Structure 1
Amino acid sequence: MYKIKVNSKLSFDVSKDSLETLDVVKTTANNFHILQDSYTIKAEILDTDFNKKSYNIKVNNNTYNVTIHDALDQQIEALGFEIGAAKKINDVKAPMPGLILEINVNVNDAVKENEPLLILEAMKMENVINSPRDGIIKSIKVEEGNTVDKNSLLIEFE
């Protein structure tokens, strides 16, 4: 299932099956002819931002900004991380309730993006919580052995 957002206002879900049944003919590199319910639609991709999964599309002489989120993007968003905004994150929160098993960093440590910060046990599984960005640890709000609720503040960055 894909979540489609148009002009940051209109949002709807589209299944993979419905996309496969769509009658689309590519006429040139960025132009498409679409037939839907006996209506002809001309679409042109004006601009793309692959990292943000954002597209500017001209449809029948109207321009729209469209973002497309697949299942993985939706999971990442549900965990509280914003796609394409990892560099702006200044704190790390618990994605789920659990027990802090191990803390791998100290205050004032310099860390790199994706470096392990701590291990959170939830539902008998160990989850490694990695750094969302390069930075310096400002504070650690938990200790090993603490139990935390979902969205509890764990670590702050400078």
Structure 2
Amino acid sequence: MYKVKVNASHQFDISKQDVDGLDSVESSPNNFHVLDKSTSIKSTILDSDFNSKVYTVKVNNNTYKVNIHDALDQQIEALGFEIGASKAVSDIKAPMPGLILEITINEGAEVKEGDALLILEAMKMENVLTSPRDGIIKSIKVNKGETVDKNALLIEFE
């Protein structure tokens, strides 16, 4: 049994029989022709992240974000664990020595996974450090213009 969530709002249970009964043909890489009750459907996989099991799919000119969880994913979730190691991150450390060019958040701010937190200049390149998870910023341990060493504590989450 697969649990499928579409656009983070609609959830479906799909069985192996449903998948096996699907009449689809790959017409070119990532493009599929599907027949559903004599109705022709064109679909394209625009983006896929296998590790987080998130796919962006275009179906008849409509784009959907689809999360697919198999039995193992469901069991991990039932045990109270998160899928993906990044969910347990409680702080951000400098991946390399550098200069803090900009801090884009404040203490107490609520952030989403992927939100920009700060810009670290290292080896004449600007590196945008993003949030590895949803959360609230507990503290910011650096200031704009400050130089930091590798593994220096930059930001803590609540």
Superposition TM-score, scaled by structure 2 size: 0.55
Alignment of 1:69-80 (within 5 A): 69-80=69-80
Instruction: Please tell me the residue identity of whatever aligns with 2:79.
Output: L
What is the distance in 1 between the residues matched to 2:89 and 2:47? 31
Gaps spanning 5+ residues in structure 1: where? 92-158
- Count residues in correspondence: 91
Q: Which residue of 2 aligns with 1:100?
A: none
- Report runs of 4+ in structure 1 exceeding 6 Å deviation: none
Identity, % of aligned positions? 62
For residue 3 of structure 1, give the secondary structure of its aligned residue in structure 2: strand
The Cα offsets for residues 69-111 of structure 1, whole Å up to 9 and x where unpaired, read as: 0000000000111112x333279xxxxxxxxxxxxxxxxxxxx
Alignment of 1:117-136 (within 5 A): none
For residue 83 of structure 2, give the secondary structure of its aligned residue in structure 1: coil
Q: Which residue of 1 aligns with 2:67?
A: 67
Gaps spanning 5+ residues in structure 2: where? 91-158
Shift of 1:18: 1.1
Superposition TM-score, scaled by structure 1 size: 0.55
Instruction: Please tell me the residue identity of whatever aligns with 1:20.
Output: D
C-alpha RMSD over aligned residues: 1.8
